[in-house]
Amino acid sequence: MTAQPKLVGFACRWCSYAGADLAGTSRLEYPASVHLIRVPCSGRVDPTFVIRAFQRGADGVLVAGCHPGDCHYASGNLFARRRFALVKRFLEYLGLEPERFRLEWISAAEGRRFAEVIREMTADLERLGPNRKLREDP
């Protein structure tokens, strides 16, 4: 049996982190693969955080924020959308598999969606196997 993949999730505190909370209080099942990091806003996530996660052993990285239009700071997620649209493509350009990085909108009411994203991503990462690219101890 292979070890569970390591998934690092950056979750906005207003929507996605609360969505994760709801998944928990609703007793929804999802893999314990995700290491969730609460951030003020998806717009706070510097692409360097994503690189750091891969360097230090993440098999996949998720950035999750409020749906467009719902940002607590009005536009943070809209900046994040532009930024990570580019970053995602760039990571693929460097040779990372597309499944290893995702940007998702998960609201505070979407506990089910949160569980689903984690399940999907974990399954993808299990299929791909451990990430060796960009890792400092490959």
Partner 1 sequence: MTDRQAALRDIAAGLLGGGQFATFIGFRAGLDPSRPVPHFVRDASGAGALVINPFCGAGLARHVLEALEDGPVGILTRGCDGLGLERLIADGRVARERLHIVAVACRGAVDPARARAILGRIPERAEVDAQAVTLIAGEERRSVPRDSCLLSRCLNCVDPSPRLADSWLDEPLPAGVRDFKAVSHMEQQPPEARYAFWARQFRRCIRCYACRNVCPACSCRSCSLDDPELQERATSLADQFGFQFTRAYHVAGRCVACGECQRACPMSIPLSLLNEKFLKDIRDSFGIADPHRPSAVEPLACYRPDDPESWRGDAR
How near is the Cβ of 7 to partner 1 at its closest, in Å? 14
Selected binder of partner 1 within 3, 25, 27, 93 (CB under 8 A): 93
Binding mask 45-64 for partner 1 (x = CB under 8 A): --xx--xx--x---------
How near is the Cβ of 55 to partner 1 at its closest, in Å? 5
In angstroms, the CA 72 to CA 96 distance is: 32
According to the binding rule CB under 8 A, does residue 29 interact with partner 1?
no
Enumerate the β-bridge partners of residue 105: 65
According to the binding rule CB under 8 A, does residue 124 interact with partner 1?
yes
DSSP readout, 42-85? GGG--HHHHHHHHHTT-SEEEEEEPPTT--TTSSHHHHHHHHHH
Using alpha carbons, select from 67, 65, 74, 69 the residue that is nearest to residue 16. 65
Tokens of 6: 């390591």
According to the binding rule CB under 8 A, does residue 118 interact with partner 1?
no
Q: Which residues bind partner 1 (CB under 8 A)?
A: 47-48, 51-52, 55, 68-69, 75, 78-79, 81-83, 85-90, 92-99, 102-103, 120, 124, 133-136, 138
